[in-house]
Amino acid sequence: MKRFWDKAEAMPAGAGFAVLLDGRPLRLPGSGPLHLPRRRLAKAVAEEWQRAGGARDGEMSMEEVPLTRVVATALERMAPDPAPSAAALAQYGMSDLLCYRAGEPRLAERQARDWQPLLDWAALQLDAPLAVTTGLMPVAQPPASLAALRRRLDALPVLELAALGVAVPALGSLVLGLALAQDRLDAAEACRLAFLDETFQQELWGQDAEAMLRQEGVIRDVGLAARLLRLARE
């Protein structure tokens, strides 16, 4: 679409903040004005819109405002009933990446060294010990652990839940996502752990262009999620 504004800015509105485009409130696709709880979050959204399209009458796409898209999803689709989103994310606990170890001894050793501390953290801090297996055959996880992970998701504010809705599918791991949300990991380390298998294969056989593109997408998504987590709390 064409950019129709000159200035985007965050301004106080009620108990929170709105984003104004030339003085007019930015609106959600299917409802009212975008209303945000934190000044820095509103400012970050406004900065996206200030850059988008370059200048008035420039062409812009929603790909230029990724933070806005996730925030809008949180407030418009998830906030009325967060339970389905929490339930969908909880499913990742049933097949968490960190629970599946390789048969190759060198890779398995690396996985145990780098992944097991996160599973130990989940057992102690999230009350969710998870079973580990070798190979790709599914391993059943303790129902009590899955219930504990679901409770953690249910307790998250909707903006943080939306951030995990981006990070967890990208990482393939609910444990990594929750560790990111609780500042146990930063985005770079979460991605490094998620790429452990691919990194090992690249060391053996060299880089694969398709795999590198996929990794770039994961890094972008996890970085966006980590940024939203930070802004939603400040």
Residues of the chain with CATH 1.10.3580.10: 83-233
Residue 183 confidence (pLDDT): 95
Mean pLDDT of the chain: 95
- The per-residue DSSP string of 93-105 comes to GGG-GGGEE-SSH
Residues of the chain with CATH 3.30.2180.10: 8-78
| Element at 125 (helix H, strand E) | helix 105-125
CA distances 128 to 32, 87, 123, 148, Å, are 40, 16, 4, 6
Over residues 86-121, the pLDDT tens digits come to 999 999 999 999 999 999 999 999 999 999 999 999
Q: Which CATH architecture has domain 83-233?
A: Orthogonal Bundle (1.10)
Q: Is the pLDDT of residue 203 over 90?
A: no
Q: Is the pLDDT of residue 26 over 90?
A: yes
Q: Decide yes or no: CATH 3.30.2180.10 for domain 8-78.
A: yes
pLDDT tier at 28, thresholds 50, 70, 90? confident
Please count the other Cβ atoms lying within 10 Å of the Cβ belonging to residue 182. Answer: 13
pTM for this predicted structure: 0.94
